[in-house]
């Protein structure tokens, strides 16, 4: 019952987080006749063992214990791979650096690119596995007409290198989350009822400012809160504590609600204004990954998603410098946040993705 | 797939004779050793026979042996027991940087509770210099704890020299002999130690039982309180079945050690030669001559130990490397780091530890599967050009 791409007994490494998605992915692959090896990446300092493990955190001791139980139930070999080095460099350092530059990073994307689909893929090769599977809800297929692998309904994966895509397997692509939970229960997996993970796995909810300040105290300094005209309205605690579109926690009394419009690391200033000023008609996106296309033609019509769980909105895309595009929304969009990912779709086909550089105001 | 077990330093398989004896005790001798009736007396007899066998193995008297739940507990009882007993006499303790975590983490705890710890460094082969030890002794030193043989690289320490210096200074000397037991001739009087920890599961006995030798006259504070068992040093109804297993394992070790060790060492040497011949860029970690007979710790240049171990496991070969963290991934070994290795070199280390059940075929199997794994990983690593 193995797909046409690979024969019965093909060896595949499954990235197991101990959650319901990757557990079901592993179970499906076993059922389909693959030779499955489970691997959990240890990417972060083990928590104080006495401390309650963060619910859904992906490298807590309880997560490893869950993944181990599932692997044991499936009768597959299981390993914990030490990836703390590459995670520290490519994700934590990047995360902190982005905040000190006044951007709001998405560490999960860096983790997917550099850790999961690079270091872990390498680990899979080391284990003589042809394929690496994850619990992402993605459909991957080879498109003859485009002569490349294409992704559909990807939400957090941008990769252009077809040699990487050619080795990835997403067993959950044809399922919904509810179906996966039902499957988990049917398969008797002990993680069937586990809640989804939501937050960044290495930072407690709402504590990213403190996290950055602990590591780069030099770069997190109090400074002025100003409005668009340069008028000083108050003091901020350090730019890393704020993100574009934020309304709460500014500590300023004003006749109308104030929102964060922009972070200015040059002047260490937080620029705030009324809600209307948070809407941008366009943005520049760089670090592009061309998933379905070689190039984008000027004026390409697509739907753009500008943050996790946001609804894609219609826009027109035009190449700017090499590796960067200008995006003009059909309707101005709120909270265009430098550092966050933007993904371009046509229907459920992923065209391309990139990192938001800056909003464009006219 | 026939599996090959070369991780005897982690734990050993239970000898069938031990298992049989334990099963007998588990089902037939279930009385409480403290009871006055015949059921109790039968259990007491098993307990005291086991004590006698352990005492004989280390050349002690049976009233100098206290049973514990593990080697770790024996280490804890030795260190905390002496430190608390003698807190008013002094608060300085000497140990080394390559001790087992059962000792190191206990020392760190004591340090946080107001004791002062001197951690003696080691040379490139993992050896503590007895001169360093002598110099570390102070008027307020109350205890020294140096392991007899290291569990990761197998280096055997000059314990008798250090214990003699310790005795001269009136300092209680403890040695963690968990790894050495069964491989070396261990006699407490030859070594001159006051306290010695051992564990059943490293000598073909069961997990969950250990013992502490306490020289007559050495006083300790207990860690737990309850009934009067184990001379009030380790109260709680005795784990009679486990202790019976330890006793039988000790008795077998005493009788079979010499012949076992000779065989194990020749297999180890065969493995070592074979690896060096077949794989370039291999270096031996630890001391070539002052080393446990079953232990082979090597660094294979340019490859991560973790990847080798996973690949060996997929071929049915069990070895180990570094020290596993709580989650089970490999960390650079604190022992190799203490020996002056870089983090990368430490992470390239793997340990084969051979035991009584290994055969020539086992060694041949490892020599057959290991070289292609290393070659492949090296090729890939060059291609990828990055580390973790």
Q: Which domain holds residue B302?
A: 4-11+258-384
- What is the tens place of the pLDDT at every residue in B100-138? 999 999 999 999 999 999 999 999 999 999 999 999 999
Say whether both B36 and B160 belong to one domain.
yes
Q: Cβ neighbours of residue A232 under 8 Å, at least 6 residues apart?
A: A224, A225, A226
Q: Identify the CATH number of the domain in which residue A305 sits.
A: 2.40.30.10
Say whether both A318 and A350 belong to one domain.
yes
* Burial call B153-189: b when 16+ CB within 10 Å, e when fewer: bbbbbebebbbbbbeeeebbbbbbbbbbbbbbebebe
Other beta carbons within 10 Å of B28? 11
Say whether both B268 and B217 belong to one domain.
no
Residue in B with minimal Cα distance to A40:
B329
Q: Which of B219, B253, B287 is the last residue of a domain?
A: B253
- What is the tens place of the pLDDT at every residue in A54-80? 444 445 677 888 999 999 999 999 999
Q: What percent of chain A has pLDDT over 70?
A: 89
Q: Among all residues of B, which ones are annotated catalytic?
A: 325
Predicted confidence at residue B29, as pLDDT, reads 97
Say whether both B191 and B156 belong to one domain.
yes
Say whether both A305 and A352 belong to one domain.
yes
Say whether both B247 and B268 belong to one domain.
no
Q: Which of A81, A86, A122 sits opposite B329 (nearest CB)?
A: A81
- What is the tens place of the pLDDT at every residue in A269-299? 999 999 999 999 999 999 888 777 777 889 9
- What is the tens place of the pLDDT at every residue in A314-344? 999 999 887 789 999 999 999 899 999 898 9
DSSP character string of A34-63: -EEEEEEEE-SPPPPTTSPPPTT-TTSHHH
Please check whether residue B115 is in contact with residue B93, taking contact to mean a CB–CB distance below 8 angstroms: yes
CA angle B144, B146, B150 (to 5 degrees): 170
- pTM for the whole thing? 0.86
> Is B380 at the interface with chain A, CB within 8 A?
yes
SS3 labels along B19-46: HHHHHHHHHHCCCCCCCCCHHHHHHHHH
Confidence of residue A251 (pLDDT cuts 50, 70, 90): confident
Say whether both B122 and B157 belong to one domain.
yes
| Catalytic status, residue A108 | no
Query: Looking at residue B171, what DSSP letter applies?
Result: -
Over residues B156-183, the mean pLDDT reads 97
Domain count, chain A: 3
Say whether both B323 and B205 belong to one domain.
no
Residue A253 resides in a domain? yes
Say whether both A26 and A80 belong to one domain.
yes
Say whether both A54 and A100 belong to one domain.
yes
Say whether both B248 and B262 belong to one domain.
no
Say whether both A240 and A322 belong to one domain.
no
> Is A228 at the interface with chain B, CB within 8 A?
no
Q: Which of A80, A119, A125 sits opposite B327 (nearest CB)?
A: A80
Q: Identify the CATH number of the domain in which residue A103 sits.
A: 3.40.50.620
Residue A269 resides in a domain? yes
- What is the tens place of the pLDDT at every residue in A122-131? 999 999 998 9
Q: Which domain holds residue A284?
A: 279-360
Cα dihedral B353→B354→B355→B360 (10° resolution): 170
Predicted confidence at residue A157, as pLDDT, reads 43
Residue in B with minimal Cα distance to A58:
B327
pLDDT at B95 over 80: yes
List C-alpha distances in Å: B28 to A166, B42, B46, B119: 62, 9, 11, 48
Q: Identify the CATH number of the domain in which residue B176 sits.
A: 3.40.640.10
Say whether both B319 and B182 belong to one domain.
no
Say whether both B226 and B183 belong to one domain.
yes
Say whether both A297 and A269 belong to one domain.
no
The Cα B253–Cα A182 span in angstroms is 54
Q: Between chains, do B306 and A83 touch, taking CB under 8 Å as contact?
A: no
The Cα B250–Cα A133 span in angstroms is 49
* CA B350 remoteness from chain centre: 17
pLDDT at A97 over 90: yes
Instruction: Describe chain B by its helix, strand, coil percentages, rounded to 5.
Output: 45, 15, 40
Q: Which of B253, B282, B304 is the last residue of a domain?
A: B253
Confidence of residue B26 (pLDDT cuts 50, 70, 90): very high
Helix (H) or strand (E) holding A208, with range, is helix A208-215
Say whether both A293 and A333 belong to one domain.
yes
Query: Looking at residue B169, what DSSP letter applies?
Result: T
Residue A60 resides in a domain? yes
Say whether both B364 and B240 belong to one domain.
no
Q: Between chains, do B325 and A42 touch, taking CB under 8 Å as contact?
A: yes
Predicted confidence at residue A289, as pLDDT, reads 80
Say whether both A117 and A240 belong to one domain.
no
Domain count, chain B: 2
CA angle B165, B170, B172 (to 5 degrees): 85
Closest CA to B18 of B187, B197, B255: B255
Q: Which of A249, A273, A297 is the last residue of a domain?
A: A273
Say whether both A242 and A128 belong to one domain.
no
Say whether both B248 and B306 belong to one domain.
no
| Chain A residue numbers touching B105 (CB-CB < 8 A) | none
| Chain A residue numbers touching B386 (CB-CB < 8 A) | 86, 119, 122
Say whether both B96 and B191 belong to one domain.
yes
């Amino acid at each position: 019952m193995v797909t046409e791409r690979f024969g019965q007994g093909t060896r595949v490494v499954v990235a197991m987080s101990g959650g319901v998605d990757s557990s079901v992915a592993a179970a499906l692959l076993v059922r389909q006749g693959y030779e499955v090896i489970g691997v959990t990446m240890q990417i972060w300092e083990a928590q104080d063992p006495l401390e309650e493990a963060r619910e859904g955190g992906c490298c807590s001791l309880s997560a490893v214990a869950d993944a181990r139980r599932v692997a044991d139930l499936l009768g597959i070999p299981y390993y914990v791979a030490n990836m703390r080095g590459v995670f520290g460099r490519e994700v934590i350092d990047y995360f902190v650096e982005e905040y000190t530059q006044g951007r709001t990073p998405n560490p999960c994307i860096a983790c997917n690119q550099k850790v999961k689909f690079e270091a872990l893929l390498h680990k899979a090769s080391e284990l003589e596995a042809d394929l690496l599977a994850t619990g992402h809800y993605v459909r991957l297929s080879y498109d003859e007409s485009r002569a490349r692998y294409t992704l559909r309904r990807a939400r957090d994966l941008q990769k252009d290198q077809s040699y990487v895509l050619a080795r990835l397997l997403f067993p959950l692509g044809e399922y919904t989350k509810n179906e996966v939970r039902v499957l988990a229960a049917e398969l008797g997996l002990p993680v069937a009822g586990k809640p989804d993970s939501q937050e960044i796995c290495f930072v407690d909810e709402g504590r990213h400012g403190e996290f950055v300040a602990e590591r780069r105290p030099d770069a997190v300094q109090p400074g002025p809160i100003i409005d668009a005209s340069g008028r000083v309205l108050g003091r901020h605690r350090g730019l890393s504590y704020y993100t574009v579109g934020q309304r709460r926690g500014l500590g300023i009394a004003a006749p109308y609600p104030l929102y964060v419009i922009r972070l200015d690391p040059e002047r260490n200033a937080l620029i705030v204004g009324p809600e209307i000023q948070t809407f941008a008609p366009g943005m520049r996106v760089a670090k592009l990954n061309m998933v379905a296309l070689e190039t984008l033609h000027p004026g390409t019509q697509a739907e753009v998603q500008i943050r996790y769980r946001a609804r894609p909105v219609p826009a027109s895309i035009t190449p700017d410098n090499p590796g960067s595009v200008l995006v003009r929304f059909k309707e101005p969009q709120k909270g265009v946040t430098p550092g966050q990912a933007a993904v371009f779709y046509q229907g459920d086909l992923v065209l391309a993705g990139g990192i938001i550089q800056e909003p464009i105001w006219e | 797939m026939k599996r090959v077990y070369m991780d005897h330093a982690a734990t050993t398989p239970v000898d069938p004779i031990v298992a049989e004896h334990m099963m007998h005790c588990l089902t037939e001798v279930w009385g409480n050793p403290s009871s006055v009736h015949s059921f109790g007396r039968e259990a007491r007899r098993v307990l005291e026979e086991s004590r006698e066998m352990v005492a004989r193995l280390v050349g002690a008297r049976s009233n100098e042996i206290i049973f514990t739940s593990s080697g770790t507990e024996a280490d804890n009882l030795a260190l905390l027991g002496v430190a608390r007993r003698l807190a008013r006499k002094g608060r300085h303790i000497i140990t080394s940087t390559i001790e087992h975590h059962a000792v190191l983490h206990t020392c760190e705890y004591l340090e946080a509770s107001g004791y002062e710890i001197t951690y003696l460094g080691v040379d490139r082969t993992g050896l503590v210099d007895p001169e360093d030890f002598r110099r570390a002794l102070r008027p307020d030193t109350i205890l020294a704890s140096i392991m007899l043989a290291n569990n990761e690289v197998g280096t055997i320490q000059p314990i008798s020299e250090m214990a003699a210096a310790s005795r001269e200074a009136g300092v209680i000397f403890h040695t963690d002999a968990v790894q050495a037991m069964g491989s070396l001739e261990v006699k407490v009087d030859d070594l001159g130690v006051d306290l010695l920890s051992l564990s059943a599961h490293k000598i073909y006995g069961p997990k969950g039982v250990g013992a502490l030798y306490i020289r007559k006259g050495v006083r300790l504070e207990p860690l737990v309180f309850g009934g009067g068992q184990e001379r009030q040093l380790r109260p709680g109804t005795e784990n009679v079945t486990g202790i019976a297993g330890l006793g039988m394992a000790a008795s077998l070790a005493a009788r079979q050690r010499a012949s076992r060790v000779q065989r194990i060492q020749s297999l180890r040497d065969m493995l070592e030669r074979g690896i060096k011949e077949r794989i370039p860029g291999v270096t031996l970690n630890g001391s070539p001559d002052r080393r446990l007979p079953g232990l082979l710790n090597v660094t294979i240049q340019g490859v991560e130990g973790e990847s080798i171990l996973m690949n060996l496991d997929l071929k049915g070969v069990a070895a180990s490397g570094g020290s596993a963290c709580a989650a089970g991934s490999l960390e650079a070994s604190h022992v190799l780091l203490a020996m002056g290795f870089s983090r990368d070199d430490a992470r390239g280390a793997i340990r084969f530890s051979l035991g009584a059940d290994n055969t020539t075929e086992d060694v041949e199997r490892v020599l057959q599967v290991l070289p292609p794994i290393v070659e492949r990983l090296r090729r890939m690593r060059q291609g990828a050009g990055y580390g973790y």
